[in-house]
Amino acid sequence: MTDIVFFHHLLGLTDGVRALADELRAGGHTVHTPDLFDGERPATLEEGSALTRRIGGAVLDERADAVVADLPKDLVYAGVSWGAAQAQRLAQTRPGARGALLYEACLPVTGEWAIGPWPDGVAVQVHGMERDPFFGLEGDVDAARELVDIVGPERGELFVYPGEAHLFTDRSLPSYDPDAAALVVRRSRDFLDRLG
């Protein structure tokens, strides 16, 4: 059994994010789903982005840090889109991480925008759609390729799905792709089982 902390996207802790977490729980894992927006549910990505600016990046980071402070060190950090950035930040900066599941986003691990180097021994699996305007067309897929190259084939995987939807793993949204999401769940469970 693996302990996972799973961060939501810019629309908040939706029913679809909860459902994806439940799919991971069904594999026998403990999944924590903090609500970094304190119950707010933006209607659009633009409203979600405005909310993060209003709350402030430092405050949101503090909220995420407070959540994991009470959890074991050997976590798997997971997140969807904006939440994947939180997951990646913690996987890279909080000692003891076992792995990261990054859905529909990936930050650079080298260059001027990088948080810092990827920690030795921390496994990663990244999922996104090839023509997703944020993941496939804004450079996240390139960052994911570089990250997987750095981690190596034993501990790093990138899965790119056909399509152009963003938030395709959230069943509560029109962008949901049930076939691709089912593959994401299966591959994520395999990843978690290997971490065992």
CA distance 114 to 100: 16
State the average pLDDT for the chain.
Answer: 96
Q: What are the pLDDT digits (tens) for 96-145?
A: 999 999 999 999 998 888 888 999 999 999 999 999 999 999 999 999 99
β-bridge mates for residue 5, sequence order: 32, 77
Residue 112, pLDDT score:
81
pLDDT tier at 13, thresholds 50, 70, 90? very high
pLDDT in tens, 27-66: 999 999 999 999 999 999 999 999 999 999 999 999 999 9
Q: How confident is the model at residue 17 (pLDDT cuts 50, 70, 90)?
A: very high
Tokens found for residue 64: 């995420």
Q: Is the pLDDT of residue 193 over 90?
A: yes
Residue 184's pLDDT band (cuts 50, 70, 90): very high
The residue-averaged pLDDT of 62-81 equals 96
Q: What pLDDT score does 126 carry?
A: 98
Torsion angle (degrees, nearest 10) of CA 73, 71, 55, 52: 60
Q: Which residues, other chains included, contact 184 with Cβ-Cβ below 8 Å and sequence gap of 6+? A: 103, 127, 159, 161, 169
DSSP string, the chain: --EEEEE-BTTBS-HHHHHHHHHHHTTT-EEE---TTTT---SSHHHHHHHHHHH-HHHHHHHHHHHHHTS-SSPEEEEETHHHHHHHHHHHHSTT--EEEEES----SSSTT--SPPPTT-EEEEEEETT-TTTTSSSHHHHHHHHHHHH-TTTEEEEEESS--SSTT-TTSTT--HHHHHHHHHHHHHHHHHH-
Q: How confident is the model at residue 196 (pLDDT cuts 50, 70, 90)?
A: confident
Q: What percent of the chain has pLDDT over 90?
A: 93
The CATH code belonging to domain 3-195 is: 3.40.50.1820
Distance CA 37, CA 5 (A): 15
Per-domain boundaries in the chain: 3-195
